[in-house]
Chains A and B, each alone.
Chain A
Amino acid sequence: MHIRIEHLSKIYPGGKKALDNVNLEIEPGMFGLLGPNGAGKTTLMRIMTLLQSGSSGTIFYDNYDIAKDRKEIRSLLGYLPQDFRFFEKLKTWEFLDYGAGLAGIRGKQRRGEVVDEMLQKVGLFEVRDRWANRLSGGMKRRLGIAQALIGQPKVIIVDEPTTGLDPEERIRFRNILSEVSDKDAIIILSTHIVGDISSTCKKLALLNRGELKFEGSPDEMIALAHGKVWEIFVTDLEYEEIKEKYPIISTIPADGGMEIQVVAESVEGYSCKAIAPNLEHAYVYYMDFLLKDKLNMQADAIRETALAQ
C-alpha cells in the first residue's frame, strides 16, 4: 500500500484555506501527522477518509483515486475520529459487530469470531456485553481503535487518539497500534502530542496553516534542532525577560532561580549549555524558528523595539 497526496488544497466557502497544495507520499508503517490546532490535520484526514472532498488536487491509494474509486478506497480504510462517541444502546460487541458487518465480513458466526478476536486483542473481551457508552475513557478509545481495525483495513487513520488518556492507557494504545502496523498497513496518526509519534512513527509530516512544512523521519527532524536547545539557569527577574525572547520548553524551580530549557538559534547574555534535542524540542524549534511566520514575527518585534527606543 502506498498513498500519494498530490497538490491537495482545500478552501472552505468562507475563503479559509485549510490545505494549500499539499504533496505527500506515505509508505506502509506508522506515519505521524503533526501540527498545531488549526493546521489542517483534521481536514486532511477527513479528505483522506472521504468524509469530505478537497478543492483541488487528489489522493491516490495505490492507483485508486479519491475522486473516482471511493468504494475501493473505503474498503481499505479504518478510521477513528477525534471526537468519538457511541450510539446509545449498543453493547460493546454489537458496536464491533456493526463495524464488521459494514466492513464486509459476512456470516454471523464469522463476524462473531472476528469481533471476539478483536475484543481480546484490545482487552475488552471481559466487557463485551457492557453498553458501549458505559465504558471508561480508555476502554472507549480502545473500542474506537478496535472498530477502526476490524476487517483488517490497509489504511488506518487515527485522529488525536491519546488526548485525555492516562499514561498507562496511552502506552497500551500505542502498543496496539504498533502490533497492527507490522502487517503492511499504513497507520496515519494525527496528533499534536509529539510523544505519540516519537515512540511509534518511522516517518512524519508537519503541517502548519494548511501547508506541509516538513516530511521525513523523526530523527531527521530532531537533527534539525541540534544545537538549538539550551538549558539556562535564571533568576526570577531574568525568567520574565527570557520568557519574552525565547520559547520555554520546560521550567524546573531550583535554589535561587530556575532551570529552564529554551529553543533558540543562539542564546546570548545568559550562561547556558546546549543539550541534545528530542522530538518535542525539534517540533518547537521547527514551529517557532524554521517556519517563516515566527521568524517574521520576531523580526517585526525587533523592529518595533528599535522604533520604540
Chain B
Amino acid sequence: MTFHNIFSVSRYEVKLLRRSWLFRIFAVLALVVLTTMHLGTQSNLNNQYQWGMVALSASIPFVNIYIFNIAQSIIAIFLAGDFMKRDKKLDTAEVTYVRPMSNTDYIAGKTWGVVRVFVSLNLVALAIAAFINVFASESAVNPWAYAFYLVTLSIPSLVFVLGVSFLIMNLVKNQAITLILLLGYIMVTLIYLCDQARGAFDFFAVSLPNLFSDVTGHPDLIRYLTQRVSFFLAGTGMLAFTVVLMKRLPQHPRRQAALATVGGVLLGAGILAGAAYVMDYRQTDNARARYTEIYRHHAVRDGATLTDAHVQLQQDAARINVQAHLSLANQGERELPEIVLYLNPSLKVTRLAGTPASDAIPFRRDDQAIIVERTLRPRERVELLVEYNGTVDENICYLDVPDTEFYSTKVGNSVLRYGKHYAFVSDKFTLLTPEALWYPVAAAPVNPVSLYNIQKNFTRFTLAVVAPHPPVVISQGTARHAGDTLFFENDQPLSALSLVMGDYERKSVMLDTVEISLYHFKGHDYFSAEFTHLSDTLPSILRWARDDYEVRKNRDYPFKRLSFVETPISFATYARNWKGASEYVQPELVLLPELGATLPNGSFKQSKRRVLSWERNGNRNIEELDLEIRVLREFIQNALLAENTFTGEGNLLAPNLLNNSSGWSSKLNKYDISPLFFNHVTFVRSAEFPILDVMLNVMLKQENSTGGGWMRQFSGMNDAQRAAEYLKTKSFEQAIMDVNLLPEVFYEMLKLKATYLKNYILTHHVAQDFTAFMSEFILQRRFSAVNFSDLNDQFAKRFDINLMDLIPEWYTIARTPLFTIRGVNVEETTIDDYTRYMISFHVHNPTPVEGILSVRVEGGRGGGGFGGFGGGGFMMLSMEQETRQFLIPANSYKKIRVLSDNRPNNLSIGTNIAQNLPSEMGVRLPRLRQMSTDTTTGMFSGDSTLFMYDPKEITVDNEDKGFRLIESNQKHTLQSLLNITTEDRYKNMNFWMPPSRWTATVGNNFHGDYIKSGYYKRAGSGQNMAEWQANISLPGFYDIYIYNPMTDPRGRGWGGGNEAETHQYYKILHADGEDEVSVQTNEDRQTWIPVGSFYFAEGDAKITLVDRGFNPRQLIFADAVRWVYKTNQK
C-alpha cells in the first residue's frame, strides 16, 4: 500500500462524488429530512416535541446520527453501484488502471474518498444539529456526544455498507440487482433484523442502548463497541475481498492469496466480535436460567421470616462490603431443616455466624441461595450475622420477565434507547433496590413456579452506611450521623430497603408530619424556573393533592417521608402485576427518571405553553400562578397518581411505517404511587389463592367513581374489554398462568375480578359498610403479613358471608353472562314532598351464568367529570349518584327500579364481567312523560315478552345473521400480510385516516343487543356494500328505519361550525321493486331515522347500503335497520 496513491485516488474520488448530482440531490434531501425531523421532534420552535426527545444532553446528536446513518447508507449504496458501473464501462478507468498503484491502493483510495465525503456531510449535519441544539431546543449541549456518535455509530455503518456494496456489486455485476438487494437488506435490517439476536445484525445500531446518562454515562459501552467493531471489521474484510475480486491484474499476483487471507481474517474477526457480542448475552441468558432454576428448586420449601435486619455497608468503588445482622423466625407450623437466604450471587459471603463472637455456622452457597445448615423449630427465632462483599450482578433481577420484554430496548415510540440497568454501584452513583438482592432476604423475591405465590416479609430495618461516597445518601427511615457513618432507622417494619447514593441537591417541604423531598442531580434543576410564583402556595397544592388522593383511595399516607429521587435514565423496571408495585416505587421513595425524560408531562415549560395556547384559543386569560398550579397538578395526576399512562407506539420518526394504529396505547404507570398506600403496607397471605393479596389491593385501590362519561365515548376495544373477552372462554386461574397475556390486560382483569367480587358482596351489603370494614381491618394490620383465613373469619363474622364459598368458583369459572336491556323508563314521583325520579328497565340474562349489573344514574349538569385527560383526579365535579349492584341470576328476566334525587339524563349500566360490549353502557333516558306513585326500588321479576321476537318489529343489526358485507376489494395489503399477531375484532375509530375497507368498531353510540358495534369506512365508489336481510312473515306495509350511530366529527371543526353535510344511500328491495333512499346523517345522531314506508311480501326483504357518500371525505357507517309493520292494506 502506498499512501500517496491512496490519497491521489481519494482526492479525485472526493471531487467526483461532490460534483455528482446523484450525491448532491441525496445529500440535500438527507439534510432537509434531518433538519425537518430535528425541528419537528426536538426543537422548541413549536410545542410538539416530546420532552423525552430532548431531556438528555446526548439526544440531539444521537437523533442526528441515527437518521444520517440510515440516509448515508442509502446514498452510499446508490453511489457504490454507480462508481462500480462507471469503472466497468469507461475506458477512463483503464488509464487509471495502467498506473503503478496496487488494487489495494485503488479500493482503499476510493473508500477513503467516500468516507471523507460522508464524514464531511456528517459534519454539516451535526452542525445543523448543534445549531438547533444551541439556539432552538431545551436540550443541554454535549460536544462529546457529537464526536462519539460520529465515530462509533456513523463510520462503522458506512464502512460496512461500502464493504457490502462493493462486494455485492463485484459478485453480482449488475447494478440494478445490487441496488435491489442492498436496499432490501437495509429495509429488512430496519424492520426485522434489528431486533434479532439482541441486535447483533443491526448495523445501524438502532436497537442498541446508546444514549448517555449525564450521571452514569453510556448504558452498555463494552457491548455497544463490540457490536460496532464487529461491523467495522466485517466491512473492512469485505473491502479486502473487493480488492481480491477486482477486475484488474494485481500488482503482486502472489499477494492475492495474502490479501484474501487478510480479508478472511478481518471478516472472521468481525464475525467473532459479533459472536462475542451474542455470547455475552448468552451468558446473561444462562445466568438467568440458572438463577431461575434455583428459585424453582427452593420454591417448594417453607421459609423463615426476616423480622429484623441491621445492614452496615461500606462501598469501595464498584464493590460493597456488608455486615448484616439478621433476626429470623419460623412463623410456620413445621420445623425448617435448613434456613434458606437469598443474596445477590456475585456477593461473596465471607462469614456467617450467630453473633460476632460466636462460631461460624456452616452454610452452602448455590448462586443466590445461601443454605444455612441450621434447623429452625416453629416459633423459634435465630440471629445471624452475614458478612459479604463483592460486586452486584444485575442478571439476578427480573427473572420472571419474558425474554422479549427483558431484552427489548424500546421505550414507547422513541428512537432513543436508554438501556436497562437494575442496580448501580460506583463512585459516582449507587442505587440498590431489593430486586438486586443487595441484602440477604428469607423470602424468595420471585417464584418461577407460580408467580403470585410469594411471601412478603415486613422487616424492621436499620441501615448504616460507612464513609459514604458519593456524598448524598437516601434510604428509608430517619437519618442520623455518627462519626463517618450515616444511620437510617425506621419506625415501622418495611417490605423493602433501598439505598441511593449520588451527587444530589435536595428540595423539601413539610406537609403536616410528612416530609416531602425532591432529590435531583446537580445541574438537573430544569423545573424551578417554571415555578417561580409557586413557592408559598406549594405546600397547599401538595396538601390538596394528597388529601384528595387519600379521600379517593380511602387510605392515609402511612410513612413519615416521601422522597422523589432522580435516577439515571437507564435505571429500568417492569410493570409486574404479581408484585403489585414497580421497583420505581419503594417504601418512602419514588425513583424518577433522569430529568423526567420519560414521565408524562415531564416538561413543565412545554406544559405551560400547551395550557397557555389552550387558554388563548378559548380567549381566556390565565394568571402565571394559576398556570403553574395547573401544570403542577396535571403533572402529579398524570405522572404519579394515574394507574395508566399513554405511550406512543411504533417509531416516532416514521410513525406510519407498517401500521395504521392510532400510535398510542395505554400502559401501566410504573410511577403510580398507589403501592405506597397499599402494596407496601399490607400483605394478605393465601396458600391456596395467592392472587388474593394483589387482588385485594386492586379492589381497595379502585375509586368509587370509575370512569367519567368521556370514557364511554371511546370506541374499539380497550384492555378491560379484552380482559372480559378472555374470560368468556377461559378462567382467571388460566389467566394467571398465561405468560402471553399483556400486563395491562391482566391488570384490567384483576380490576374486573376484584370489582366483581366487591360488587357481589355489595349486592348483599351497602358499600360504606364494606369499605369501613376493610379500612379498619387493614389499618389494624399495617406493615405485617395477614393470613387470608383471618380476614375471612372477620368478614364472615361481620357480613355473614364466607368468602371461600365464592372464591373457588370466582377463580375457576370460564364462562361469562350477557345482558340485554329493554323498556327503559323514567317517571316522576314524590317522596316526602320532594320530587324524585324513578328509573326502571328490564334486563334479560339468557346464559347459564349469573352476573352483576352496576347501575348508576347520572344527572344534573351533564354527569361525568369534566376534568378531561389532565385534571381527572382533581376536578371530578360530578353529579353522579351511588352505583347500585344487582345480581342477575342465570336464565332470568328482571326488572330493576332505581330512584334518583336529581333529574336524570343518563343511565350507566356496567355489566362487569360479561359478553356485553362495551362493558359499560350509557343508556339515554327517554323523555319524562309520566308520574308514578310506586316508589319501591330494587330488583323484581321482569317482563319476558319484551325480549320475544316480534314479527311486527324486525331489527337486523350488524351482529345478526341477516347482515353481511359485500366487498369489492379483497386483496391483502402488505400490512395484513405482516401482521402476524391476532388483532382485535373491533378496532378503534380512526377519523383522521379512515380505513378504505369495512372495519368493525364498538361504542355506545352504536346499536346492538349486547354488542353495540357497527362497521365503518371512508366513502367509496359504491362498489362496497352492506346488506341487511329480514324474513317477513306478515305481508304488508312496513316503515323502514335506519339507525344512525354517529357522524364524522371532523365535520364539526370545519367552516366555523358549519358541519359538512353527509348522506348515506340505501337500496330498499320491496314487493314493488327497488328504491334508493338518501338518509342525511349529520343530524339526528344515535337514533332511528325513518326513511319511508314500503310494501313487503312474505319472504326475504333486503336493504343494501352502498358506500357512496354525499361528499367524498365522509365516513359511511353500517349498523342496524328496522322494519316496523304498519298495515296490510295495499
List residues of A whose CB falls within 8 A of some B CB.
49-53, 67-68, 70-72, 74-75, 77-90, 94, 98-99, 101-104, 106, 144, 147-148
Contacts and interface: CB of A to CB of B under 8 A. Distances in A.
B92 A87 contact: yes
A45 B917 CA distance: 84
Given A85-B92, A101-B4, A147-B95, 10 more contacts: A50-B249, A52-B249, A79-B95, A83-B91, A87-B16, A101-B12, A103-B99, A103-B100, A104-B100, A148-B95
Interface in B90-112: 90-92, 94-102
Contacts of A74: 98-101, 251
B258 to A, nearest CB: 15
Contact of A67 (B9, B92, B253): B253
A99 B250 CA distance: 19
B15 interface: yes
A211 B93 CA distance: 29
Interface in B234-259: 248-253
Given A74-B98, A98-B8, A89 B20 contact: yes
A72 to B, nearest CB: 8
A77 B4 CA distance: 18
Contacts of A88: 16, 19-20
Given A74-B98, A79-B98, A98 B12 contact: yes
A49 B94 contact: yes
Interface in B41-98: 86, 90-92, 94-98
Contacts of B91: 81-85
Contacts of B1070: none
A79 B100 CA distance: 12
Contacts of B4: 101, 104, 106
Nearest to A151: B99
A77 B99 CA distance: 7
Contacts of B248: 51
- Classify chain B's interface size: 20 to 34
A51 B95 contact: no
Interface in B696-753: none
A70 B15 contact: no
Interface of B: 4-5, 8-9, 11-12, 15-16, 19-20, 86, 90-92, 94-102, 248-253
Nearest to A103: B99
Nearest to B19: A89
Given A53-B249, A70-B252, A102-B8, A85 B90 contact: yes
Given A71-B102, A87-B16, A51 B97 contact: yes
Contacts of B5: 102
Contacts of A98: 8, 11-12, 96
Contacts of A77: 98, 100
Contact of A79 (B94, B249, B253): B94
Contacts of A90: 12, 15-16
Contacts of B90: 85, 87
A102 B13 CA distance: 13
B96 A102 contact: yes
A83 B97 CA distance: 15
A81 B92 CA distance: 8
Contacts, number: 92
A102 B94 contact: no
A51 B253 contact: no
A48 to B, nearest CB: 10
Contacts of A103: 99-100
Nearest to B12: A98
Contacts of B98: 49-51, 74, 77-79
A70 B98 CA distance: 10
Nearest to B91: A81
Contacts of B12: 87, 90, 94, 98, 101
Contacts of B9: 102
A28 B20 CA distance: 42
A77 B250 CA distance: 16
Nearest to B249: A50
B210 to A, nearest CB: 37
A51 B100 contact: no
Contacts of B99: 74, 99, 102-103
Q: Which of A51, A102, A144 has most B Cβ within 10 Å?
A: A102
Nearest to B90: A85
A93 to B, nearest CB: 12
A86 B101 CA distance: 20
Given A89-B19, A102-B8, A81 B94 contact: yes
11 contacts: A51-B97, A70-B249, A72-B100, A98-B11, A99-B95, A99-B99, A101-B4, A101-B8, A101-B11, A102-B9, A104-B4
A71 B98 CA distance: 10
B175 to A, nearest CB: 17
A298 to B, nearest CB: 38
Q: Which of A52, A86, A104, A144 has most B Cβ within 10 Å?
A: A104
Contacts of A82: 91
A67 B251 CA distance: 9
Contacts of B251: 70-71, 74
A128 B101 CA distance: 26
A81 B91 CA distance: 7
Chain A to chain B: the 5 pairs with minimum beta-carbon distance, closest first: A101-B8, A89-B19, A102-B99, A75-B100, A74-B100
A133 B1036 CA distance: 89
Nearest to B97: A51
Contacts of A89: 15-16, 19-20
Nearest to A101: B8
Q: Which of A77, A78, A98 has most B Cβ within 10 Å?
A: A98
Contacts of B101: 74, 102
A50 B11 CA distance: 24
A86 B98 CA distance: 16
A5 to B, nearest CB: 17
A49 B100 CA distance: 11
Contacts of B249: 50-53, 70
Contacts of A75: 100
Contacts of B252: 70-71
B11 A84 contact: no
B11 A80 contact: no
Contacts of B250: 70
A80 B91 CA distance: 9
Contact of B100 (A52, A71, A147, A148): A71
Contacts of B102: 71
A118 to B, nearest CB: 14
Nearest to B254: A68
A67 B253 CA distance: 8
A83 B1090 CA distance: 83
A286 B97 CA distance: 35
Nearest to A48: B98
B25 to A, nearest CB: 14
A3 B250 CA distance: 21
Nearest to B102: A71
A103 B5 CA distance: 9
A74 B95 CA distance: 11
Nearest to B109: A102
A80 B96 CA distance: 10
B4 to A, nearest CB: 6
Contacts of A83: 91
Q: Which of A51, A77, A85, A86 has most B Cβ within 10 Å?
A: A51
A52 B98 CA distance: 11
Nearest to A67: B253
B438 to A, nearest CB: 64
A68 B249 CA distance: 11
B643 to A, nearest CB: 63
A79 B93 CA distance: 11
Q: Which of B9, B20, B98, B253 has most A Cβ within 10 Å?
A: B98
A52 B102 CA distance: 15
A303 B86 CA distance: 53
Contacts of B8: 98, 101-102
B110 to A, nearest CB: 13
Contacts of A68: 253
